[in-house]
């Protein structure tokens, strides 16, 4: 701080007028005589931040001793110091032009060129002043009679009216030049008690102290005990599990911070690399922690902020200010609020203020601060009512809401309220409340794998329930295994030996002491025998009872029950179809087309559509085999196939007290091979009357079978809005997240509550439709083969689009995970939501573009084509959407002329950007062959067997590419090494993905969801390549390869068999390269002909 002549600056307390026109040393008495306020000024000057008021000498001693300056070494007898002034030291020139200065000891010597100054350095470690650009002028220009400090920007020479305060010196001096005394307070546990136990060694630098502690106390790898023995360590000799944790902990005592922020302009340093990682997110904008509340898109840089935010959804404010009636969701918010009372207590010195009360505070609420102040002196009591006592050192547990107030708050769960950060609707949004006082189960075993196991575990964690995962040998390192509190292996990879192995799962339940089992979907989720075995061992099955599972799981019986409950059903045969000939006869009676489907199970397995007798025979055989292998039940039924229908289902929720609700509908008409691909809620097709009628019939059926859990009643709806009961799934559906998004309910939590016996807290009128939600099932499939044949492999690169707003990803895999042939190839469920359907669709489009999957073939190209298809956008969809729109199969995105120009221009811009980067790299290496950077290029770009000549010019980060006479602007600060390439094409932002790039100019780009191979060449290389012979493709007409990975069920040929089929040419089996029971991959050679 600098003192202007005749003025006193805040924080210094020294009047410049007290030092005007002095050329000799004055004693304190003389100064007091000249200026009566002198000692008062000195007194104020010595009160530093965080310290109480003290006298001048003590403050001066504190500053000098702790900063390591000691006494000044006068340069000559002509100089002397006014030692009694704390914080500002005045010296004068006995000879010369009398300029008065306020200087620091040590600075005085350098100011005048003392012998202590060697080579421009003070007799202290490090530079005193450092580089000129590290310091700032703290006031206007000052005179520098000695001309020594102008270049440094410090202007140490000052006129008589201007003085330099030590605070300015400390503020602008490098930290390493401050000499410190660092004492090791490590206690030797082998020595007897007393003061002598403390190490007590003193060091001048942090590095010396840290080295000493690490070598002499912490020890090397041979040290097995990792306990901190630092004096007054709050851990109280509790050992750490690893040495590195002890080393990190010791930094709390030593103050070491070895991790500096690498970003320019940021000077923060951290004790732990984890803290640096969190801090760097403030620069990068990364927010990896997503709010787990369904319907909320908020993201946070660290987990503590997310935890604080979650109280917004629960309306739980457990931190109560006992000095007023306000409550807060987080301790930090309460501490900020306490500052209001701090200011009031400073202004009001009455006992009421000093004890931490306001007039409206009930006497029964006593703050921790007030309990301790009775033993304080009056002066101390006034000071203790400040922030340091109330806001920093109070007992947070004492400020928690009382049980009575807590019960009042928890009563809010019985009435709907709107979450403060979710989609706002005209209707009231009901938000899930996770009540920690509502006791359910201590431990739940999840009898499933993958994303649904992870989904259940997330809710269990919110409810404070421990989880147990089961896994096969190949799933030992799966994500759901890592998420669980415990994990048990239940067998080898095949499902019938692991996840369908009831005996192994029962053993896992006994071993872990699990109180309940959540089956997820698939596997044993609708197996009544499994539910019976659990009930026999007093383990709760989180789902309906065995009666409901049996009644609704058997499609024949469920159809009869639906009729009895006055639910609309599809015309068909009510019994079991015994054999193929009966199937043909029944199909003729019903009338083609007919649907042949398994009586047990679901998920589109064991289902075939037959349009004639031959297809009926083939469909019966295949459906029977698939039903037996998938569900262990080969019974089939037949019914009339409703052509051009919509598949719409109603989510129901019922408890054990006779209450049942319908939670609106889900549109599931986009299917391939009777399996859903894209779902949305609500449906664009239903009107309120039809929705209500379907919901009421679904509830009627649930009550008829005394259903108690979450379930789904599926309907087929024709073009006239006539609906027919299809089946009831007595489990959690794959697509349940979209219902959670529009209602605000956590269905997994509701299932757990109902299984424990709690009644539903909602009424039918509480269930809203808030906004719109769409789900895309991301599969490891090749969409170009029958709309999706499975693909296997390892995810070499995986990045979910979680940084986008209103995007939810339910997955059970990570980068490095394997997609195997043994299980469903689902990668994740991608959910987007918004206030309108158009908003949800746009977010889905962005999310698919930002979804990075490498290592396996995936169906994102198909998903993106579906959601951007004009017919889907208009809502005109049926279950035949895919075969109707892609009769020849899916071929990927078909480029328009505009899209072709965009892709060509982007590829050319990327190529030029890569060339410029290489040139700059060569230039930095000072390679003589590095060419000068150009600004115009003429290139040849090959796309889909067509060659295009393009002209590229560059201005900054913008490339102007002329393609077929049309100019396209491409701009963006992209990183060619990144998986995502955000670009702006003609001012339209897009996200592309660069899948591969080679030295030959070939770039594989994912553009609008589809992969395109683009080849960019210079004109010279293009001319030369035209003379190269074309590569002749391999003749594959005589070989048969596997179209997908799987197991060989049977081999009906052997070497020497003659091909008697109608074919392009006659052939004989030359060799067979597989046998029954073998596992083959996609493209593996099966049979070779000659």
Copy the structure tokens of residue 373.
């102040």
Give the residue carrying structure tokens 């709050």.
Answer: 234
Contacts of residue 147, defined as CB under 8 A and 6 or more positions apart, other chains included, come to 157
Sign of the torsion angle spanned by Cα atoms 377, 379, 382, 388: negative
- Contact yes or no for 257/248 (Cβ under 8 A): no
Pairing of strands 90-91, 101-102: antiparallel
Residue 626: other Cβ atoms inside 10 A: 17
- Report the distance separating Cα 298 and Cα 220, nearest Å: 45
Q: If you count DSSP H runs as helices and E runs as strands, how many of each does the chain have, helices first?
A: 32, 47
Give the residue carrying structure tokens 């809005």.
Answer: 721
- Contact yes or no for 26/85 (Cβ under 8 A): no
Decide: residue 528, CB within 10 A, 0-12 exposed, 13-18 middle, 19+ buried. Answer: buried
Among candidate residues 1056, 903, 1055, 901, the one with its CA nearest the CA of residue 992? 903
- Report the distance separating Cα 460 and Cα 288, nearest Å: 21
Copy the structure tokens of residue 94.
């006995």
Copy the structure tokens of residue 99.
């300029």
Instruction: Supply angle C-alpha 88, 89, 94, rounded to 5.
Output: 150
Count of all residues that appear for the chain in the document: 1090
Give helix 528-536 / helix 502-512 axis angle, nearest 10°: 30
- Contact yes or no for 518/540 (Cβ under 8 A): no
- Report the distance separating Cα 356 and Cα 348, nearest Å: 11
CA atoms within 13 A on the CB side of 768: 24
- Contact yes or no for 979/850 (Cβ under 8 A): no
Sign of the torsion angle spanned by Cα atoms 1053, 1056, 1062, 1066: positive
Alpha carbon of residue 692 to chain centroid: 38
Among candidate residues 286, 243, 250, the one with its CA nearest the CA of residue 271? 250
Among candidate residues 253, 194, 193, the one with its CA nearest the CA of residue 218? 253
Find the catalytic residue in 646, 731, 808, 864. 731
Among candidate residues 273, 20, 56, the one with its CA nearest the CA of residue 160? 20
The helix/strand/coil state of 518 is strand
- 449 catalytically annotated: no
Q: Buried b vs exposed e over 828-856: b needs ≥16 C-beta within 10 Å?
A: bbbbbbbeebebbbebbbbbbbbbbbbbb
Helix ranges, 56-172 (H): 56-67, 107-112, 166-172
Copy the structure tokens of residue 520.
């997820």
The CA–CA distances, whole Å, from 796 to 799, 815, 819, 856, 1012 equal: 10, 6, 11, 8, 20
- Contact yes or no for 683/666 (Cβ under 8 A): yes
Decide: residue 959, CB within 10 A, 0-12 exposed, 13-18 middle, 19+ buried. Answer: buried
Contacts of residue 29, defined as CB under 8 A and 6 or more positions apart, other chains included, come to none
**637 pairs with which residues across the strands?**
597
CA atoms within 13 A on the CB side of 205: 9
Decide: residue 386, CB within 10 A, 0-12 exposed, 13-18 middle, 19+ buried. Answer: middle
Catalytic residues: 731
């Amino acid at each position: 701080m600098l003192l202007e002549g005749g003025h006193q600056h805040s924080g210094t307390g020294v009047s410049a007028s007290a030092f005007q026109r002095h050329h000799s040393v004055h004693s304190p008495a003389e100064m007091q005589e000249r200026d009566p306020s002198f000692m008062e000024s000195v007194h104020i000057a010595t009160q530093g931040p965080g310290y109480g008021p003290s006298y001048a000498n003590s403050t001066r001693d504190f500053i000098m001793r702790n900063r390591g300056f000691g006494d000044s070494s006068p340069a000559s007898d002509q100089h002397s110091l006014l030692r009694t002034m704390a914080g500002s030291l005045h010296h004068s020139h006995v000879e010369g032009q009398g300029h008065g200065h306020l200087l620091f000891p040590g600075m005085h010597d350098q100011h005048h060129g003392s012998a202590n100054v060697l080579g421009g350095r003070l007799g202290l470690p490090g530079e005193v002043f450092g580089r000129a650009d590290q310091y700032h002028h703290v006031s206007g220009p000052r005179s520098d009679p000695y001309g020594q400090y102008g270049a440094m920007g410090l202007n140490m020479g000052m006129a008589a009216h201007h003085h330099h305060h030590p605070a300015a010196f400390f503020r602008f001096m490098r930290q390493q030049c401050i000499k410190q005394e660092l004492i090791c307070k490590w206690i030797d546990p082998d020595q007897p008690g007393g003061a002598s136990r403390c190490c007590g060694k003193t060091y001048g630098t942090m590095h010396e102290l840290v080295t000493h502690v690490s070598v002499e106390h912490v020890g090397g790898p041979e040290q097995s005990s990792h306990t901190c023995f630092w004096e007054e360590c709050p851990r109280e000799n509790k050992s750490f599990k690893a040495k590195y944790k002890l080393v990190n902990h010791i930094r709390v005592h030593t103050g070491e911070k070895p991790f500096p922020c690498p970003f320019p302009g940021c000077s923060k340093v951290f004790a732990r690399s984890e803290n640096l990682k969190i801090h760097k997110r403030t620069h990068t904008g990364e927010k990896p922690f997503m709010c787990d509340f369904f319907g909320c898109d908020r993201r946070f840089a660290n987990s503590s902020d997310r935890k604080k935010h979650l109280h917004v959804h629960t309306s739980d404010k457990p931190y109560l200010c006992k000095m007023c009636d306000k409550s807060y969701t987080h301790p930090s918010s309460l501490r900020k609020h306490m500052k209001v009372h701090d200011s009031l207590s400073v202004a009001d010195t009455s006992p009421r203020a000093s004890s931490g009360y306001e007039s409206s505070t009930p006497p029964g609420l006593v703050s921790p601060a007030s309990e301790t102040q009775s033993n304080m002196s009056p002066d101390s009591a006034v000071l203790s009512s400040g922030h340091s006592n109330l806001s920093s050192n109070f007992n947070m547990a004492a400020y928690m809401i009382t049980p009575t107030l807590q019960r009042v708050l928890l009563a809010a769960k019985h009435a709907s309220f709107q979450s403060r950060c979710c989609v706002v609707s005209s209707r009231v949004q009901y938000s899930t409340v996770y009540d920690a006082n509502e006791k359910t189960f201590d431990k739940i075993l999840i009898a499933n794998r993958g994303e649904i196991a992870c989904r259940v575990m997330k809710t269990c964690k919110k409810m404070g329930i421990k989880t147990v995962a089961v896994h096969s040998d190949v799933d030992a390192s799966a994500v759901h295994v890592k998420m669980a509190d415990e994990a048990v292996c239940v067998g080898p990879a095949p499902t019938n030996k692991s996840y369908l192995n009831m005996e192994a799962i029962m053993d896992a339940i006994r071993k872990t002491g699990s109180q309940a089992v959540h089956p997820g979907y698939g596997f044993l989720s609708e197996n009544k025998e499994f539910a019976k075995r659990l009930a026999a061992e007093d383990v709760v099955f989180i789902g309906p009872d065995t009666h409901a599972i049996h009644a609704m799981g058997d499609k024949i019986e469920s159809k009869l029950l639906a009729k009895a409950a006055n639910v609309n059903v599809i015309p068909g045969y009510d019994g079991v179809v015994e054999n193929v000939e009966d199937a043909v006869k029944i199909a003729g009676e019903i009338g083609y087309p007919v649907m042949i489907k398994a009586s047990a199970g679901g998920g589109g397995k064991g289902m075939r559509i037959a349009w004639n007798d031959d297809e009926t025979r083939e469909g019966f055989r295949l459906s029977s085999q698939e039903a037996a292998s998938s569900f262990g039940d080969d019974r089939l039924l037949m019914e009339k196939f409703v052509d051009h229908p919509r598949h719409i289902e109603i989510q129901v929720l019922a408890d054990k007290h006779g209450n049942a609700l319908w939670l609106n509908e889900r549109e599931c008409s986009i299917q391939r091979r009777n399996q859903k691909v894209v779902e949305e809620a609500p449906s664009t097709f239903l009107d309120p009357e039809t929705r209500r009628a379907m919901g009421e019939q679904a509830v009627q059926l649930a009550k008829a079978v005394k259903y108690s859990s979450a379930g789904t009643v599926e309907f087929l709806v024709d073009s006239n809005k006539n609906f027919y009961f299809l089946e009831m799934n007595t489990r959690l559906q794959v697509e349940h997240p979209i219902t959670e998004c529009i209602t605000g309910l956590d269905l997994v939590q509701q299932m757990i509550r109902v299984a424990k016996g709690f009644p539903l807290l909602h009424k039918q009128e509480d269930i809203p439709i808030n906004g719109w939600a769409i789900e895309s099932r991301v599969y490891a499939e090749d969409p170009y083969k029958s709309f999706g044949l499975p693909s296997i492999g390892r995810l070499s690169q995986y990045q979910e689009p979680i940084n986008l707003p209103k995007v939810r990803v339910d997955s059970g895999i990570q980068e490095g995970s394997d997609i195997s042939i043994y299980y469903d190839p689902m990668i994740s469920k991608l959910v987007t939501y918004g206030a309108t359907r158009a908003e949800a669709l746009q977010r889905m489009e962005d999310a698919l573009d930002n979804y990075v999957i490498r290592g396996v073939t995936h169906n994102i190209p198909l998903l993106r084509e579906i959601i951007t298809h004009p017919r889907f956008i208009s809502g005109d969809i049926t279950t035949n959407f895919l075969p109707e729109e892609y009769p020849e199969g899916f071929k990927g995105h078909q480029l328009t002329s505009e899209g072709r120009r965009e892709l060509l221009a982007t590829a050319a811009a990327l190529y030029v950007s890569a060339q410029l980067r290489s040139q700059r790299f060569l230039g930095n290496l000072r390679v003589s062959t590095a060419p000068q950077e150009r600004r115009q290029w003429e290139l040849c770009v090959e796309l889909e067997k067509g060659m295009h000549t393009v002209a590229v010019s560059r201005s900054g980060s913008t490339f102007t590419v002329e393609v077929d006479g049309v100019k396209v602007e491409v701009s963006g600060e992209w990183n060619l090494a990144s998986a995502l390439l955000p670009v702006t094409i003609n001012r339209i932002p897009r996200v592309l993905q660069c899948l591969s790039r080679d030295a030959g100019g070939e770039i594989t780009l994912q553009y609008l969801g589809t992969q395109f191979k683009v080849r960019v060449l210079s004109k010279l290389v293009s001319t030369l390549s035209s003379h190269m012979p074309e590569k002749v493709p391999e003749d594959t007409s005589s070989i048969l390869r596997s179209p997908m990975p799987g197991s060989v069920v049977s081999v009906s040929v052997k070497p020497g068999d003659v091909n008697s089929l109608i074919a392009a040419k006659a052939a004989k089996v030359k060799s067979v390269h597989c046998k029954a029971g073998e596992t083959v991959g996609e493209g593996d050679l099966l049979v070779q002909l000659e």
